[in-house]
Structure 1
Amino acid sequence: WQKMGLPVTRQDIINWQTKSTEYYLEPLYQLLKEKLLEQKFLHADETTYRVLESETVKTFYWTFLSDKQAEKPITLYHHDPHRSGQVVTSFLGNYSGFLHCDMWQAYGQLVQATLVGCWAHVRRKFFEAVPPEASNKSISNQGVRYCDRMFALEKDWENLSNQERLQLRQKKLAPLMEEFFDWCRKHKAMTLPNSKLGKAFAYTLNHETTFKHVLLDGRLVLSNNLAERAIKTLVIGRKNWLFSQSLNGAKSSAIILSLIETAKRNDLDPEKYLKYLLYKLPNESTLTDKEALSAYLPWTKQVQASCR
């Protein structure tokens, strides 16, 4: 561009991204957030991120997304300097549905939501407690096998209706969980509390009620892998671009990535969708009219026809 007489600086490119995001894409992001909070089943996860101009050494990207069965799937990313419960309550507000998450204490700040614990985390705790060359009969391996049995049952039921799955969970999974928690209580008393196995027992039993919440609805799932895969997308990106210069840049990236991943979940070509938005939205008379803005949601007929 400079050779053609049009110098484009790095700051120009940064401004184009942040300003176009702020003026045109963020209103749509906020509408998607409203739509997300209307859904009954959500997933959440978070990861660390570096911002050079941040006052804190670490900042965080959060992801909040609808479940696999959602008719209007949404995946949102949110950047914040903190990992506190205030971030969760600020983003989710008075959300009163089911939230799949890990046992990070921040999620406990949600008063009205029903937290659903991730059994993949339970399995991982016991797997990491397996000593080298341990026999299959070792206590930690027994814990792993309990979890494997639960996941095997869920695998057998994956093509059933939610109601059929719920009935089978009450009949087969609930008794297996009770057996597992009783087993944990029995062996915890004989295990050093600061050992890996002791910590696995403590983690499991401290959140027993939350891990049992999967029994409340056939649409709930045993693991939070959906959110972990969503956050992995960001982790892979982080390995490539390493950091953001500013908090505004990190926020802008979160909004753009949200639109890209939500487009994918709605079977759109994300590049076509972004081009469509950046071509159409600047020509709207106002972006505060939710009815007009709703025409740009990824599941609408016009967007589906134009951006596949």
Structure 2
Amino acid sequence: MVSLAKYTEEQLNTCSKEMLITILLSMQDQMAQLNQNFEKLLEQLADAKNHRYGRSSEKLSVIDGQLTLDMIFNEAEALTETLYVVEPTEEQVLPKKKAKRSGKRDADLKGLPEELITHTISEEKLTGIFGPNGWKQLPDEIYKRVRVQPAVYTVEVHHVAVYAGKDNQTIVKADRPKSLLRNSIVTSSLGASIMNAKYTNGLPLYRISQEFQRNDIHISRQVMANWMIQLADRYLGIVYDRLHEQLLKYHVLQADETPVKVSKDGRPANSNSYMWVYRTGKYYKNTPIILYDYQKTRSHEHPEKFLKGFEGLVVTDAHSAYGKLDREHKELSFSACWSHARRRYAEALKAMPKDQKGQASETIAHQALTRIAAIYHLDNELSDLKPDERKERRQLTIKPLVEAYFAWIKEVRQRGTLLSGKTLAGIDYSLNHEKALRMFLEDGEVPLDNNATEGALRSFCLHKHAWKLIDTIDGARSSAIIYSITETAKANRLNPFRYLEFLLEELKEHQDDTDRSFIDELLPWSAKLPEICRVK
């Protein structure tokens, strides 16, 4: 904060004309600095209010899905070189009213079990209407309704036959199936249902316990927490490890992290721990893998350990931990996220006073957003291409836009234009990470941003607001394993409950095996998964 010098009346009376002019000019500079600091404070306050109460969307205005690109370049010929104009068809200009598609309901309900329910009229009533033998039956009118049967709980009562020899003391018992946990009532279906409720649907254990009690089943949340830890450690952990091995074989990965509270981790209350997430690149759509990794801190040591053996490129935000890895490990390279590059500009526009919103299009922030929107628009059109084709098209159509964006922000920065705090932060972010922001142009497998990873974290971030904190470190690690299984299952279009039930049932039978080759048949993309696991 700038402080204004204080002069007494006597001091001012004795000052020369030159001294008074100097004092006045100095005070003007100080007042200008104060005004600038005050405007930044107002912007920060508006931004904080918007984060708490405002909408999260950062989209610019669009017309029929086509971004307005009038502010990208001053030269018209530059626009014509980088954009494609496609003539609309007659159907696009004058769309006809869509006819109702027949058979959609049957398609939606395909695969569900059916129960035939017939509705008839008694022969006596038909005789009263038509007379004796005065009618014939036509094809039935058929309609469908869906009935839901709430969860049904069944207690398995196992009787193990016991035999003894008549002429000796030999006793023989019939074989009994293996149990998930010794002397525990938990079954594969029960364990999977609790995992699905907590890690797919975000219900805290105390609410799951309450729902059990409403069905006259008394299972405490402490017991369920113990089950989750043991099942994750004993069974699902080996699937997690196999997925980790597979993940490191890809060329492009994406990473991010989010804070989480763990109440009993040996540190003061409210200390932040972190749930890191790693996933295969956005363009690997056939076998996506999403893995969570719980750690106490945000140190570079954690991704360094997790990525040991990986040789390729990682898409991340600008966290310093990744920068350190980039400098120290030649086998790793890092690409920055354009979504983060545009975020500060969007925040600058959102923080503008209402009476100035009409001039938003004239701001540096809006111009920056429009330029970045053009880059996104063209890159989205390449999403279905093969990596080599995508790289070639990026070099041809998108690289000129990237070159123009960086040339423009360097000019704005050098010009010394009075900028809001957020706009200046956006420009400096792009300049500080220019090399990493350009990486996507050189590799067709690299996505433009890290939004896919943030999407993989979304379930966890939503759920943690429901259960607030994790009780223990063991609980945090088991949560990381189970979230990894459920999120990877969803990414591979599997039903998380059915897949968890299948895994627990199969892994139970292999709990004593030393040969782990069977695990490949249990992975989410395995052709040997039962059909009931797949989302149709």
Question: What TM-score, normalized to structure 1?
Answer: 0.92
Matched position secondary structure for 1:103: coil
Indicate the residue corresponding to 1:175 in structure 2.
Answer: 400
Q: Distance in 2 between matches of 1:208 and 1:140?
A: 18
Matched to 2:399, the amino acid is A
Residue 116 in structure 1 maps to residue 325 in structure 2: no
Matched position secondary structure for 2:294: strand
Indicate the residue corresponding to 1:25 in structure 2.
Answer: 236
Q: Select the residue among 76, 90, 96 that pairs with 2:311.
A: 96
Which shifted more, 263-272 or 204-213? Answer: 263-272
* TM alignment of 1:110-149, pairs within 5 A: 110=325, 111=329, 112-130=331-349, 131-132=352-353, 133=356, 134-149=359-374
What are the ranges of 5 or more consecutive residues in structure 2 without an aligned counterpart? Answer: 1-211
Q: Distance in 2 between matches of 1:157 and 1:302?
A: 33
Indicate the residue corresponding to 1:280 in structure 2.
Answer: 506
Matched to 2:506, the amino acid is K
Identity of aligned residues (%): 32
Residue 208 in structure 1 maps to residue 427 in structure 2: no
Which shifted more, 218-227 or 161-170? Answer: 161-170
Q: 2:240, 2:481 within 8 Å by CA — same for their partners in 1?
A: yes
Indicate the residue corresponding to 1:73 in structure 2.
Answer: 288
Q: Distance in 1 between matches of 2:533 and 2:339?
A: 36
Indicate the residue corresponding to 2:482 in structure 1.
Answer: 256
Indicate the residue corresponding to 2:412 in structure 1.
Answer: 187
More helix by share: 1
Deviations 1:29-76 (A, max 9, x none): 011001011111111111111111121611111110112332321111
Question: What TM-score, normalized to structure 2?
Answer: 0.54
RMSD: 2.3
- In the superposition, relative to structure 1, how do residues 268 and 304 fare at CA in structure 2: closer, same or farther (>3 Å)? farther
Indicate the residue corresponding to 1:151 in structure 2.
Answer: 376
Q: Cα distance, 1:10 vs. partner?
A: 3.5
Q: Select the residue among 428, 437, 444 that pairs with 1:218.
A: 444
Aligned residues: 308
Indicate the residue corresponding to 2:55 in structure 1.
Answer: none
Matched to 1:254, the amino acid is A
Matched position secondary structure for 1:129: helix
Q: Distance in 2 between matches of 1:14 and 1:240?
A: 16
Q: Distance in 2 between matches of 1:215 and 1:231?
A: 26
Indicate the residue corresponding to 1:86 in structure 2.
Answer: 301
Q: 1:27, 1:288 within 8 Å by CA — same for their partners in 2?
A: no
- In the superposition, relative to structure 1, how do residues 287 and 93 fare at CA in structure 2: closer, same or farther (>3 Å)? farther
Matched position secondary structure for 1:45: strand
- In the superposition, relative to structure 1, how do residues 154 and 304 fare at CA in structure 2: closer, same or farther (>3 Å)? farther
- In the superposition, relative to structure 1, how do residues 119 and 287 fare at CA in structure 2: closer, same or farther (>3 Å)? farther
Q: Distance in 1 between matches of 2:433 and 2:512?
A: 47
Q: Distance in 2 between matches of 1:253 and 1:285?
A: 21
Q: 2:316, 2:450 within 8 Å by CA — same for their partners in 1?
A: yes
Which shifted more, 67-76 or 227-236? Answer: 67-76
Q: Select the residue among 247, 257, 266 that pairs with 1:36.
A: 247
Matched to 1:197, the amino acid is T
Which shifted more, 280-289 or 227-236? Answer: 280-289
Q: Distance in 1 between matches of 2:421 and 2:218?
A: 61
Matched position secondary structure for 2:257: strand
Q: Distance in 1 between matches of 2:468 and 2:338?
A: 31
Q: 2:281, 2:447 within 8 Å by CA — same for their partners in 1?
A: no
- In the superposition, relative to structure 1, how do residues 287 and 306 fare at CA in structure 2: closer, same or farther (>3 Å)? farther
Q: Cα distance, 1:191 vs. partner?
A: 4.6
Q: Cα distance, 1:292 vs. partner?
A: 2.2
Indicate the residue corresponding to 1:161 in structure 2.
Answer: 386
Q: Distance in 1 between matches of 2:432 and 2:380?
A: 27
Structure with higher RCO (Cα < 8 A, 6+ apart): 1
Indicate the residue corresponding to 1:14 in structure 2.
Answer: 225
